[in-house]
Amino acid sequence: MIIGLDVGGTHTDAVLLSTKGIEKIVKVPTDPTNLFNSVLAGFTQLLDTTDPGEIQRVVISTTLTTNALVQQEMGPIGMIVSAGPGIDPKLFSTGDHYYTVAGSINHRGREKAPVNEMEIEDIAQRLKKAGVAYVGVVSKFSVRNPSHEILIKRILNKHFKKVFLGHHVSGNLNFPRRIATTHLNAAVFDLHKAFFEAVKNSLAEKGLTLPIQILKADGGTMSLESSMDFPAQTILSGPAASIMGAIPYAPADQDVIVLDIGGTTTDIAFLVNKAPLLEPLGIQRGQYKSLIRSLRTDSKGIGGDSALRVIDGKLTIGPDRKGPAMAFGGPGPTPTDALVVLGLMDEGDSQKARAGIHEIAGQLNLSDMDAADHIFKKCCTIILKKTFEMIDELNSQPVYTVHDFLEGYKLSPQKILLLGGPAKFFADKIEEMYQIDTMAVPNASVANAIGAALARTTCEVSLIADTEQGIVTAHEEDFAEPISKTYSEDDLIETAYTLLKEKALNSGADSENMEEVEVVEFQKFNIVRNFSPRGKIYRTKIQLKPGLIKGFETILHQI
């Protein structure tokens, strides 16, 4: 059996799956002030009649790190950055405790200026006095030579709880994004560690000692232990869970819109031939432009519990949420109350729902039923307007999926898949209004938890070989080996595959999924000096593709 758990802004959803189908579904309210208790309540109800020894896999998706960024709940973080000649690294400052220092490495990985160790010691003392516990260190070309970052970390280790290094972030060259990503890792680490350690300890008390998997923004999983070094990868794991939960029901050879309508927000994504779209550079949210591999999603602040208001005679919906619907004891009317008044939902207190909608109806000079229908239609309009805006934006730029770069491709969705509690109600209304084939996926209210449970482990490796210098490196993986002048493309791919397999297995991958490896980038450059060839530089990136684990195909048809 396997467990999937998705911690949303309104509800925490948990599912228990076996090869026979869904064994149990649990939904509990999410307490934003105590996410741990919400998760624990989900696990407790899910396992009350199940032998923990039967559980083979646990996967959690969460909005924890995303909420920390949005609500700016992060403590003070120190950043030490060296760039050498070129653009001023101060332009990429992450806050008050950001220091630029001496020392530089060039694009070939050769040292041009050394680190000033006394300068680093002085900065460490200043950061300690400011109450900083976590520090990020970034050198501009650390993916070619991380020696400066490693030296600075060695100096800092005795002063701080944990030091994060830029060359561990990604094999891609992008100095500003590497700074932002390293800062994000340091910023969310404390919260991430405390939450998941509490979950792990609670499960151990129940007899569950197997490794916990965490859903990443790219739709794959990683082990809890692996996430400690890169906690920012869990940003946007909630929307990723929705996408993975929709994939089984997407038709092949079609473009599909995926909408997850929650209580607070609606997450929007797209599938091309059952493959999710990808952020080619990394997550971008507000000021943070990162190197965190992510599925392409966006959110709109509208959901079943969005606050309703009439301003200057016009209805507004969201983007805030004051609490649950009035039908469920909330303080003000919401779209969920409109669904109750329309007779689409038979849960909750219908009298309280009518009272809330009646107030809105009076301000709009409509009957209660007409006001409820107007609210429902406007929700659909707002969600689809945002969706079509995304399509226009995507069609103005190259389209990337998790598998391919689709040059010149134009999205033309022919189907909409809906997830979330109110999905079945919205499906009929959206199809009626927009004449697009629309359906709520089976068990739509917990499809995100199912998607998390069935997602397989993903990871990638970037490798560079320089036959002139006689070395092959993957500094992101702390790997370097000498090579000969005859080192070839085939040798590079073989080395990359070996590294990827080791990384994937350490991250919790099943050995059976190693056949899902693909080369996503390959480059070759000749090194010429004085008109004479001196060697070659090879670069490659290979990945374990996102997808669903094997052995549960029958469930996907049953649910």
Rounded average pLDDT over 152-157: 94
Q: What does the alpha-carbon distance between residue 255 and residue 272 come to, in Å, rounded to a whole number? A: 5
Domain with CATH 3.30.420.40 in the chain: 250-444
Q: What is the pLDDT of residues 405-417, one digit of tens each?
A: 677 788 889 899 9
Q: What does the alpha-carbon distance between residue 477 and residue 466 come to, in Å, rounded to a whole number? A: 17
pLDDT at 140 over 80: yes
What DSSP state is assigned to residue 83?
A: -
Q: What is the pLDDT of residues 80-134, one digit of tens each?
A: 999 877 778 888 888 889 999 999 888 878 889 999 999 999 999 999 999 999 9
Give pLDDT, residue 66. 67
Q: What is the pLDDT of residues 281-327, one digit of tens each?
A: 787 766 678 888 888 888 888 888 889 999 988 999 988 888 889 99
Q: What superfamily does domain 250-444 belong to in CATH?
A: ATPase, nucleotide binding domain (3.30.420.40)
Q: 267: which 2 tokens?
A: 């997450």
How would residue 514 be classed by pLDDT, with cut points 50, 70 and 90? low
**Residue appearing with tokens 């000498």:** 482
Q: What does the alpha-carbon distance between residue 300 and residue 382 come to, in Å, rounded to a whole number? A: 9
How would residue 72 be classed by pLDDT, with cut points 50, 70 and 90? low
Rounded average pLDDT over 208-228: 83
Give pLDDT, residue 556. 55
Rounded average pLDDT over 4-8: 84
pLDDT at 65 over 90: no
Give pLDDT, residue 426. 93
In 321-458, which ranges are continuous DSSP H helix? 335-341, 350-364, 368-394, 423-434, 447-454
Classify 79 as helix, strand or coil. Answer: strand
Overall pTM > 0.75: yes
Angle at 499 between CA 493 and CA 503, to 5 degrees: 140
Q: What does the alpha-carbon distance between residue 548 and residue 453 come to, in Å, rounded to a whole number? A: 9
Distances (CA, A) of 279 to 122, 178, 296, 437: 39, 15, 5, 27
74 or 490: whose pLDDT is higher?
Answer: 490
Q: What does the alpha-carbon distance between residue 308 and residue 302 come to, in Å, rounded to a whole number? A: 10
How would residue 559 be classed by pLDDT, with cut points 50, 70 and 90? very low
Classify 538 as helix, strand or coil. Answer: strand
Q: What does the alpha-carbon distance between residue 39 and residue 61 come to, in Å, rounded to a whole number? A: 11
Beta strands in 384-508 (DSSP E): 399-400, 405-406, 415-419, 437-440, 459-466, 471-474, 479-482
Q: What is the pLDDT of residues 159-174, one digit of tens each?
A: 999 999 998 888 778 8
